[in-house]
Amino acid sequence: MEQQTQILIVMIAYMAFIILLGFYQGRKVKTGSDFAIADRKLPGWIAALSERATGESSWALLGLPGAAYATGLLEIWTAIGCVFGILFAWIILAWRLRDEADKYNVETFTDYIAKRHGEMGKWLRIVGSFTIVFFFFFYVGAQFIGGGKTLENLFGIKKIYGMLIVVGLVVPYTIYGGFRSVTYTDVVQAIVMIVALIAAPIAGIIYLANLPEGSVFASTISDALHNAGDAYSTLTGGAVLKEGTHLSSALNNMFPNMQGIVSGLGTGIIIAGAFSWFFGYLGGQPQLSMRFMAISDARQAKIARNIGVLWTIVAYIGALMIGWIGIALFGPEGLKDQETVMPEVLTTIFHPIIAGILITGVLAAIISTANSLLILSATELSENIVKPLRGKKIDSKTSLLYSRIVTAILSAIALVLAYLSSGNLIYTIVGYVWAGIGSTFSIVILLTLFWKRFHGIAALLTIISGLLFTIIWISTEMDKIITSRLLTFIVALFVAVLSTYLFKKREES
């Protein structure tokens, strides 16, 4: 009880500071543009830390360590895919998107796509915004689930009450301050997150080395992976397909009595599925691309790139190591829920006060992404669908009011969806969004930036095909055979190229 009380006090103090900072920054928000993109005047270091805090969310502090705990070295492929994608985004795309946003006076993600393909701008706004809002309901829900899991694990609070607490912490200052409040509070979140991801692995290794032999599953990470078996200790997951799984059944039906081919194909598909997170980072995550677009100038873009790259490499190494330290401490079957491995590791190896500070890194990740997704969804909906339906120009104060009302409504809907899907793993839910949004819009952004022939009709058909394919592929459970993150990217690319050649660019009216 004393440990829980100490952790709770630290977390309350931290959250009070975050909320006050959010409201303070919100006082500077005067227009819809301030609310949506901070008037495109973010310093580079703010943009970089905000983008990283938003991009990692409960995925990197709960989902990825949990996956590393459940699969061992195989999860390295996921980390490689993510890191390569993030590096590509910061090195190749960030400064280009910043320049494009400045050139076209962009306020939302689909606003940029619509202005670049003006001949189909109206439909791109409607369909693009609808697609983003549809998938982001589930993404925001994943953050609420992550908060519920963390509070349930620490304090025994029912998950639904934990989710309500997270909503109460996130939503008020997000509604008030919009993008500006979110990005500045993200800076604090990113710092806490990276401290947790550095401190926990170092302390965990020291803690294991000083324990009496036999008191835990293993005294080192390497011993833990080895003792857990081939499925944990190799980069191919032991090259073993479990009998009865969708993938095993499908491959055995295709190649009966050909175990070598089945094993090789299965391993390749598993590795490709893990690496496929790469495709979602290629400009296709609106909440990340908006950070690029909001950077104030080219010099700040370079500063942001350097910070973003360094943060990413350190964070992903830390996330994997926490999962593997969890195997050493608890054994491969020691946790009921794999995605509680990080808070379990922290409360085991640290003094309660230090654990409380570092566990706020988990809540920091959840909050930074939840509020970013809410703001982006709200601005997409209000700027591209609600306000145009009014059919007349809206002044800046009314525009700001609309954005705040829409944010509140979306928060409530996302909470309901989180409650209905609260049994699902965060890793799985985020994977769905990565396909429907990331893999689809990555194609649109890449071709818009680098292929002059690409036009509005092709962009619209790409978004529609990506949305429909992802829903169909996942609802038919084909995603359990080959991940939709990979196939949606391939299908969207095929549709984009084919429709570019089949249809002529329409002249702007």
pLDDT at residue number 44 = 94
Helix (H, G, I), strand (E, B) or coil at 119: helix
For every residue of 9-61, DSSP letters joined together read HHHHHHHHHHHHHHHHHHTT--SHHHHHHGGG-B-HHHHHHHHHHHHHHHIII
pLDDT at residue number 96 = 95
Q: Is the pLDDT assigned to residue 264 strictly greater than 70?
A: no
Among the listed residues 454, 455, 487, 452, the one whose alpha carbon sits nearest the alpha carbon of residue 472: 487
Q: Is 123 exposed, middle or buried (0-12, 13-18, 19+ CB in 10 A)?
A: middle
Q: Is the pLDDT assigned to residue 318 strictly greater than 90?
A: yes
423-472 tens-digit pLDDT: 556 667 677 788 889 999 999 999 999 999 999 999 999 999 999 999 89
How far apart, in Å, are the Cα atoms of 320 and each of 201, 259, 267, 461, 506? 9, 31, 20, 38, 49
CA distance 187 to 48: 9
- Cα dihedral 414, 79, 279, 428 in deg (nearest 10): -30
Contact assessment for residue 424 and residue 417, using Cβ atoms and an 8 Å cutoff: no
Helix (H, G, I), strand (E, B) or coil at 352: helix
CA distance 250 to 234: 24
Q: Is the pLDDT assigned to residue 54 strictly greater than 50?
A: yes
Q: What is the mean pLDDT of residues 39-55?
A: 90
Q: Is the pLDDT assigned to residue 254 strictly greater than 60?
A: no
118-127 tens-digit pLDDT: 889 999 999 9
Q: What is the pTM of this model?
A: 0.84
How far apart, in Å, are the Cα atoms of 21 and each of 14, 273, 502? 11, 40, 52
**What confidence category does residue 238 fall into, taking pLDDT thresholds of 50, 70 and 90?**
low
More confident residue, 371 or 22: 22
Determine which of 54-58, 141-145, 245-249, 505-509 has the lowest per-residue pLDDT on average: 245-249
- Find how far residue 42's CA is from the centre of its chain: 21
For residue 392, give every residue at least 6 positions away whose Cβ sits within 8 Å of its Cβ, in sequence order, or none: none
Whether domain 2-502 has CATH 1.20.1730.10: yes
pLDDT at residue number 84 = 93
Neighbours of 45 (CB within 10 A): 16
CA distance 260 to 78: 25
Determine which of 76-80, 89-93, 251-255 has the lowest per-residue pLDDT on average: 251-255
